[in-house]
Copies of this chain bind each other. A is one copy, B any other.
Amino acid sequence: MTEPLRLGIAGLGTVGAGVVKIVRQKAALLAERSGRPVTISAVTARNRDKDRGVPLTDYAWEDDAVTLATRDDVDVFVELMGGSDGPAKAATEAALAAGKDVVTANKAMLAHHGQALAQLAEDNGAVLRFEAAVAGGIPVIKALTEGLAGNDITRVMGVMNGTCNYILTRMESGGLSYQQAFEEADKLGYLEADPELDVGGIDAGHKLSLLAAIAYGTQVAFDAVELEGIGKVSIDDIRQAADMGYKIKLLGVCRMTGRGLEQRMAPCLVPATSPLGQLDGGTNMVVIEGDQVGQIVMRGAGAGEGPTASAVMGDVLDIARGTRLSTFGQPASSLKPVTAARVATPAPYYLRMALVDKPGALAKVATALGDAGISINRMRQYDHASDAAPVLIVTHKTTRSALDVALGAMAGTGVVAGDPVALRIERV
């Protein structure tokens, strides 16, 4: 048996405790599979005294993550603290600078500093892996970086925030308003301390930006992700969509076009019978499309102790087995800066609006669409008690910019009450 691989673990929340449990309980299995023992040298967390349901006395305790990360008896720094900056980043940088490998679940840190950290890893001959940062237990980073490396990737899509999918699923299944479903998720502890990270699409946008970097050999460009949260999705939209055979999902989509990289995280309509449409509750799904492989769909738990710890251990065992990969699948220095393209790939759109109840109102809306070159696929006006008539329009394929022109023109007509809802219908 060769030398053990020695971990230093920073962050002992749910995931950190889960990793400690696996290392303790599966020592024989891990050694058999990786060819060497996996051990823990030291740990750190904010609160030393908290009971985490797993004994920690076998390991050295450090109060400071940077000190932990650079200990002589740590081969791999396992970063599970979270936060895009602060101690997580400082300790990750210290570990990489010391030539130590890093395994992290920190999507925010990589979304904001991925390029610099990948370059730092490369400069120091260290490996930086992050399977747990995207889609929890689904080994999608591995599939995209390695298994599908013989493909030109044509599109990556993902439902990667379980909380949003839970809220949307509950709105549909329970007939709840957005606010009611949000409160239910909050009571269940599903929401981040800053809920906007979830419902604003930020967390899922972080993940999408990492997938895009691997898929297209580009520098991580989270700032170029078009973000739209689920806060404006109403129970009406969900019902109308269902009525037409669609479900509404917070869907991330990225693709490389002639104009640049499109990255968008927004509520979209997808066919109810598609794998994405059938994804209920907190489960995640990532769809990878390649020119050779066609469509690969991967589904699994996107969060939680076991699934996230499983992903961390996958990375740890890769390192134990001697696998040395570039962070984003190719040398950091070869990753191209992103030319960000506003999402322009044509698609049909779903529009819902309230029309002031007077003659010619509908004609004005139809004219605004027609003038922008947008043709109508389906339209329904519903019976109504109030002053404003609910109108639903599904367009034929159009661009978002043409749609924005039409929406601008509609606003000028004075017949549309409030802001129309416009959701892309993604072909899946």
The answer to whether B296 and A146 have CB atoms under 8 Å apart is no
Given the contacts A143-B143, A317-B146, A310 and B151 also touching, CB distance less than 8 Å: yes
Does A297 count as interface, using CB distance less than 8 angstroms? yes
| CB of A300, distance to nearest CB on chain B (Å) | 4
Q: How far is the CA of A131 from the CA of B294 in the complex (A)?
A: 16
Q: How far is the CA of A54 from the CA of B91 in the complex (A)?
A: 51
Question: Which of B150, B294, B318 is the one whose CB lies under 8 Å from A301?
Answer: B294
| A322 neighbours in B (Cβ, 8 Å) | 323-324
Does A26 count as interface, using CB distance less than 8 angstroms? yes
| A252 neighbours in B (Cβ, 8 Å) | none
Total interface residues on A, CB under 8 Å, equals 60
Q: How far is the CA of A226 from the CA of B32 in the complex (A)?
A: 28
Does A82 count as interface, using CB distance less than 8 angstroms? no
Does A52 count as interface, using CB distance less than 8 angstroms? no
Binary interface encoding of chain A residues 292-309 relative to chain B, with 1 for a CB under 8 A from any of its CBs, else 0: 111111111100101101
The answer to whether B150 and A310 have CB atoms under 8 Å apart is yes
| A290 neighbours in B (Cβ, 8 Å) | 310
Given the contacts A293-B307, A294-B307, A324-B322, A316 and B150 also touching, CB distance less than 8 Å: yes
The answer to whether A26 and B306 have CB atoms under 8 Å apart is no
Question: Which of B29, B295, B310 is the one whose CB lies under 8 Å from A293?
Answer: B310
Does A330 count as interface, using CB distance less than 8 angstroms? yes
The answer to whether A150 and B317 have CB atoms under 8 Å apart is yes
The answer to whether A313 and B35 have CB atoms under 8 Å apart is no
Of chain B, the residue at the smallest CB distance from A273 is: B278
| A309 neighbours in B (Cβ, 8 Å) | 150, 292
Does A220 count as interface, using CB distance less than 8 angstroms? no
| A300 neighbours in B (Cβ, 8 Å) | 293-297
| A298 neighbours in B (Cβ, 8 Å) | 296-299
Of chain B, the residue at the smallest CB distance from A278 is: B278
In chain A, positions 1-54 with a C-beta closer than 8 Å to chain B are 18, 22, 26, 29-30, 32-35
Q: Which 8 A-B pairs have the closest CB atoms?
A: A139-B147, A150-B313, A137-B293, A292-B306, A293-B310, A292-B310, A297-B299, A296-B300
26 examples of A-B residue contacts, CB within 8 angstroms:
A18-B292, A22-B150, A29-B152, A32-B334, A33-B329, A34-B149, A137-B292, A138-B296, A139-B146, A139-B147, A142-B143, A142-B147, A143-B147, A146-B314, A147-B311, A147-B314, A149-B313, A149-B317, A151-B310, A291-B306, A292-B313, A293-B307, A294-B306, A295-B300, A295-B301, A297-B297
